[in-house]
Chain A
Amino acid sequence: MQTIDAANLDYRAINNALRKAETDYIIEGCCGQRFLAAGMSDKNLIINGIPGNALGAYLNNANITVNANAQDAVGDTMNEGKILIHGNIGDAAGYAMRGGKIYVQGSAGYRAGIHMKAYKEKIPVMIIGGCAGSFLGEYQAGGVIIVLGLHKDGRRIVGNFPCTGMHGGKMFLRDSCEDIHFPRQVTARPAAAEELEEIREYLSEYCLDFGYSVNELLSGPFTVITPDSKNPYQQMYAAN
């Protein structure tokens, strides 16, 4: 396990060192450097300190653990791998994610999981331990978004306008969601037992990562949200 001291290094220098490294890597003293591990594959990376925007953008099968908060655009257009955040994350996490996992212990900012995709067996998964900001899963086209609401501190589990434009995938909110307003083109209903079984595997992994009990998590009320149509614009046009 190699260690790199990020103090006084810019993102380019850190990424160059990471690219050359054959072994696992620890970044110490990270302080806002952007684009860490962008497009990288086959790495195991531990980050101490706070990474900057676009951590693990286009990530191509690497594992990243952040022992603090992370900023905006975590796992932007991520393809494969896993990003584990022992803290909160900023806005637009997992934008257009098409595979892999983003597990967050804390809360997420605006626009988490926006335009997530899926293709056959390739299903991206995002789990947020706390709450999510507004526009969660906007334009969601595939994949699974789970918000657990573990430390809500009186806040709603998700902000305004969740699932706007959603046309694929599934969202699970560990809440009865009576105070959440969903758009008309999705259906929000209490999750059936077999639906919760679909996410047990992901939650078990999450619990191993962060030290929770999976049965305890699954005992909470879950609302599942699915889109009514995968062709929301079908009736909108007249050929001219």
Chain B
Amino acid sequence: MSIEFIYPEFEVIRNENRCISCRACERQCANDAHSYDKKHNIMRCDESKCVNCQRCVSFCPTKALKIVKSDCTLRENANWSTQTIKEIYRQANSGGVLLSSMGNPNPLPVYWDKILINASQVTNPSIDPLREPMETRVFLGKKPSKVQRSKDGKLDCTLPPQLELSMPVMFSAMSYGSISYNAHKSLALAATELGILYNTGEGGLHEDFYCYGENTVVQVASGRFGVHADYLEAGAAIEIKIGQGAKPGIGGHLPGAKIAGDISRTRMIPEGSDAISPAPHHDIYSIEDLRQLVFSLKEATEYKKPVIVKVAAVHNIAAIASGIARSGADIIAIDGFRGGTGAAPTRIRDHVGIPIELALAAVDQRLRDEGIRNHVSLVVGGSIRSAADVVKAIALGADACYVATAALLALGCHLCRTCQSGKCNWGIATQRPELVKRLNPEAGSKRLIHLMTAWKHEIKEFMGGMGINSVEALRGNRLMLRGIGLTEKELEILGISHAGE
């Protein structure tokens, strides 16, 4: 080999006693890691091509395969980890900016795991959700500051536009282009069935999916791909994407190789041309400019749809959110630094942004202090992994959560973190027809419905345990939370007491 050689990260272990050389693994692997040696009638393997997506493992009929971490190691060094050294080799080999996928995998604190939830004992008894009604519905949008009556004393029930969700969860933005047609269809079908919403991301909306508009958030990002009057009309809400948790402060590039056929038409850019989403919106340099975009969208859709402004969780997020709340936006979405992505520069993904838990607590408190919390709803994402995370987020002050990585896992993703290659063996982050068809939208949507239905049950169990029968009564109810192993400062920002207090 040569100086450029980097030892493969994984080894494919084949149990020769079980392998029947049926070549299923070879057919399943778009990375061509497996091949058939006709002369010897055995399967061979090039582990340098393996990304550990577990597709072959899942589809081997005799369970003959497993993927393990290679034990070929560099000399141990606590300062220079193997990963760091290999990254240097990659850059020395290519001169390229390191590109990774999915959320930040580094061992930084996960505050969700350091927060514990309360339950009723003796007094204020808990509620059994199987016997008693529990309300998980939430309405997102601007809420009036006071009760208004008309001259004849009747209640004025006109409200700004609201989104109704059957549970406090939405599928967050993933563009058509970054994920496949079948992945989008799975999300659209599931959102419709569940009574929640999914999000187009910034790649426009395929014409086949306009029929799911009532359960769709249409996104407007700096590249404005696929944005036109019918698109804005089609959605239940419009989201202005300013930033994304996985890559705050930078834009996106969908490589020209992925801009073909329907993707090109949906984005309205020439085939083969890079789809570049610049880092900033070229017309937004201030809250006043943001207000102009918010109101141009409202004007174009006759004030019938709530406008969401999505930002990444960064330093000073509370002040930023306060500005957004004053821009006329109905909903603020905040994406934490663990949020997933189809591709982001590794260094940005791993080093920019802050945890969503801290951002949410700071924003909710700031908006309350300023008396404008009811002007906006708060939606948070950036690694909401379970019903427990949802409950903790709501108790910290969120109105609802954005979920994407968990939804992709339900669709078959095994978090191999190589979305950028476009060779997703699970048919999700790919545009290759032979791979896309591996994901059946009906089956995929069923798995998403299973997941969300299970979470809904769990949310009800949590609420029942706390003696709370409606999500509305849980929102911002930080008394239901306690920290474990957190510093005074962390507890202060989260606005919670320590366990035992």
Q: Which residues of A contact B (CB under 8 A)?
A: 11-12, 15, 19, 34-35, 38-41, 53-54, 57-58, 60, 72-73, 76-77, 79, 91-92, 95-96, 98, 111, 114-115, 117-119, 122, 138-139, 141-142, 165, 167-168, 230-240
18 residue pairs of the A-B complex, CB under 8 angstroms, read A57-B296, A98-B228, A115-B224, A115-B276, A117-B268, A117-B269, A141-B269, A141-B270, A142-B270, A165-B276, A167-B274, A168-B273, A231-B274, A232-B276, A234-B255, A234-B256, A238-B91, A240-B99
Known contacts A58-B232, A115-B278, A142-B269, A92 near B283 by CB under 8 Å: yes
User: Looking across the interface, which residue of chain B has its beta carbon closest to that of A118?
Assistant: B270
Point out which of A12, A35, A76, A96 has the most chain B C-beta atoms below 10 A from its C-beta. Answer: A96
Select B346's contact among A79, A119, A240, beta carbons within 8 Å: A240
Decide if A165 touches B232 in the complex (CB within 8 Å): no
Q: How far is the CA of A57 from the CA of B229 in the complex (A)?
A: 9
B302 partner residues in chain A, CB cutoff 8 A: 19
Q: How far is the CA of A240 from the CA of B90 in the complex (A)?
A: 8
Chain B contact surface mostly: mixed
Specify which of A92, A111, A122 is in contact with B268 (CB 8 Å cutoff).
A122
Whether the Cβ atoms of B99 and A237 lie closer than 8 Å is yes
Interface presence of B12 (CB below 8 A): no
List the A side residues contacting B273 at CB < 8 Å.
141-142, 167-168, 230-231
Residues of chain B within 8 A of A168, CB atoms compared = 269-270, 273
B224, B229, B295, B300: the one contacting A95 at CB < 8 Å is: B224
- Assess the A79–B229 pair: CB atoms within 8 A: yes
How far does the Cβ of A231 sit from chain B's closest Cβ, in whole Å? 4
- Return the 8 tightest CB-CB contacts between A and B, nearest first: A39-B300, A238-B96, A96-B224, A60-B229, A240-B98, A35-B299, A79-B228, A237-B99
Contacts of A239 in B (CB 8 A): 90, 99, 418, 420-421
Report if B136 contacts A (CB, 8 A): no
User: Distance (Å) between the CB of A186 and the closest chain B CB?
Assistant: 14
| Cα distance A80–B301 in the bound complex, in angstroms | 17
CA distance A93 to B265 in the complex (A): 24
What sequence of 0s and 1s flags, for each residue 229-247 of chain B, a beta carbon within 8 Å of any chain A beta carbon?
Answer: 1101000000000000000
- Bound together, the chains give a CA A99 to CA B402 distance in angstroms of 33
Q: In the complex, which residue of chain B has the Cβ closest to the Cβ of A98?
A: B268
Report whether B253 and A58 are in contact in the complex, using a CB–CB cutoff of 8 Å.
no
Given contacts A53-B292, A167-B273, A234-B274, 5 further A-B contacts (CB under 8 A): A60-B230, A141-B269, A233-B255, A233-B276, A240-B87
| A236 / chain B contacts, CB cutoff of 8 Å | 96-97
| Chain A residues with CB under 8 A of B267 | 117
Q: By the criterion CB–CB under 8 Å, are A238 and B94 in contact?
A: yes
Is B70's beta carbon under 8 Å from chain A? Answer: no
Chain B 7-32, CB within 8 Å of chain A: the 1/0 string?
Answer: 00000000000000000000000000
When distances are taken between beta carbons in the complex, the residues of chain B under 8 Å from A240 are 87, 90, 98-100, 346
Q: In the assembled complex, how far is the CB of residue B482 from the closest CB belonging to chain A, in whole angstroms?
A: 38
Which residue on chain B has the smallest CB distance to residue A141?
B269
- Contacting B227 at CB < 8 Å: which of A34, A41, A53, A58? A58
Contacts of A98 in B (CB 8 A): 224, 228, 268
In the complex the two chains form, is A232's CB within 8 Å of B274's CB?
yes
CB 8 Å contact bits of B78-110 with A (1 = contact, 0 = none): 000000000100110111111110000000000
B489 at the interface (CB under 8 A from A): no
Q: Please name all residues of chain A whose beta carbon is closer than 8 Å to the beta carbon of B276 when the two chains form the complex.
A: 115, 139, 141, 165, 167, 232-233
B264 at the interface (CB under 8 A from A): yes
Q: Which of A12, A58, A92 is packed against the most chain B CB atoms within 10 Å? A: A58
B300 adjacent to A58 (CB under 8 Å): yes
Whether the pair A235, B296 counts as a contact (CB closer than 8 A) is no
* CB-defined contacts of A235 to chain B, threshold 8 Å: 96
| Per-residue A-contact encoding for B291-314, CB less than 8 Å = 1, 0 else | 010011001111000000000000
